[in-house]
Amino acid sequence: MSLLEVRNLKVHYPIRGGFWNRIVDVVKAVDGINFSIEQGQTYGLVGESGSGKSTTGKTIVGLERPTSGQIFYQGQEVQQNKLRNSVDYQRNVQMIFQDSLSSLNPQKRILDIIAEPLRNFQNLTADQEKLRVLQLLDIVGLSADSLYKYPRQFSGGQRQRIGIARAVATNPKLIIADEPVSALDLSVQAQILNFMKKIQRELNISYLFISHDLGVVRHMCQQIAIMHRGRLVEVGTRDDIYNHPQHIYTKRLLAAIPETNVNSRQEHRQKRLEVERIYNEQQAKYYDSNGAAFALQPVSMTHFVALAPTD
């Protein structure tokens, strides 16, 4: 039994217009996706901006309302309209945000920020609570001095670690990490990612790791799903995606990883242009007439690709 299973999840936003403010069209931010996350695993969700990956994360954690589809947590269906009221689910599914500054309330001290989920989900005395916050700060490598400071007094990397401490506070089973390192510089990115891995090992947490950075995803994730225009186009293990990409969109994403080898610059450029040409030429083979990806077809035991149905 997987920890979290998402079945045919759809999030559509209406576009209103016309004289009576009728719904004239819908934006299909997420359009029928399926995946499941195992205990202790890191599941990568990759895609360009606007592909619906953040919306997926927010819907799972209960910040957005799904149009249709089901979410199963440890085999039990989570009622979507009561998602925010389900205490057990709320405590076990937490989120790390991209923007570390705006995700911490600028008017609250670190103690109050990290203690917020503790106050809502656990009955601790003031001393127990303070002790727990100090322990959490220690886990993410911050000193006890931070307790009575404000978020603005910390650097980006430190703030993101505070965000992680808050997410970890209630001992969750799953953490939705919505581009947790995209706003940080490279040296700090590595530091934060290693912290996340360390915490995962120690506390046996699963991550849904949302990112557009394929290098970071390769470092973090065992299972990867590529998302494009609200649908999954390729799902597989790290090896499947990086070494045997089947879908043109995946190939295009992989070709976009910057290469630092100056000597073969021309070669890489040629390769990128080639991939881009194939991508433009073969649109019809991989996308239906509306521009949406096809349903996933199994290629191997672990590897699924959105290919045109072969009937």
Query: What are the respective helix, strand and coil percentages of the chain, to the nearest 5?
Result: 40, 25, 35
Residue 138 lies near another protein (rule: CB under 8 A): yes
C-alpha–C-alpha distance, residues 175 and 165, integer Å: 11
> What's the closest the beta carbon of residue 183 comes to another protein, in angstroms?
11
Q: Residue 227's beta-bridge partner residues?
A: 47, 232
> What's the closest the beta carbon of residue 301 comes to another protein, in angstroms?
28
Residue 290 lies near another protein (rule: CB under 8 A): no
Residue 205 lies near another protein (rule: CB under 8 A): yes
The phi and psi torsions of 42 (rounded to 5 degrees) equal -110, 120
Residues 21, 127, 261, 289: which binds another protein (CB under 8 A)?
A: 127
Residue 121 lies near another protein (rule: CB under 8 A): yes
Report the 10 Å Cβ neighbour count for 100.
Answer: 25
Which residues in 142-161 contact another protein (CB under 8 A)? 144-150, 152-153
C-alpha–C-alpha distance, residues 263 and 285, integer Å: 35
| Residue 142 CB-half CA count within 13 A | 30
Nearer to another protein, 82 or 84 (CB): 84
Residue 38 lies near another protein (rule: CB under 8 A): no
> What's the closest the beta carbon of residue 185 comes to another protein, in angstroms?
20
Give the angle 45-49-53 at the CA atoms, nearest 5°.
Answer: 30
> What's the closest the beta carbon of residue 239 comes to another protein, in angstroms?
27
Stretch binding another protein (CB under 8 A), from 109-117, 209-217, 238-246, 290-298: 109-117
Token code pair at residue 282: 């073969």
Report the 10 Å Cβ neighbour count for 205.
Answer: 23
User: Would you say 61 and 137 are in contact if contact means Cβ atoms under 8 Å apart?
Assistant: no
> What's the closest the beta carbon of residue 281 comes to another protein, in angstroms?
41
Q: What letter represents residue 128's amino acid?
A: Q
Query: How many residues in the shown chain lie near another protein by CB under 8 A?
Result: 54
Nearer to another protein, 2 or 237 (CB): 2
Nearer to another protein, 63 or 278 (CB): 63
The phi and psi torsions of 237 (rounded to 5 degrees) equal -75, 170
Residue 183 lies near another protein (rule: CB under 8 A): no
Residues 38, 116, 213, 276: which binds another protein (CB under 8 A)?
A: 116
User: Would you say 252 and 271 are in contact if contact means Cβ atoms under 8 Å apart?
Assistant: no
- Helices (runs of H) and strands (runs of E) counted in the chain: 11, 12
Residue 67 lies near another protein (rule: CB under 8 A): no
Token code pair at residue 9: 């999840």
Where on the chain is the footprint of another protein (CB under 8 A)?
Answer: 58, 61-63, 84, 87, 90-91, 93-95, 97-99, 102-109, 116-117, 120-121, 127, 130-132, 134-136, 138-139, 144-150, 152-153, 163, 166, 168-169, 171, 173, 202-205
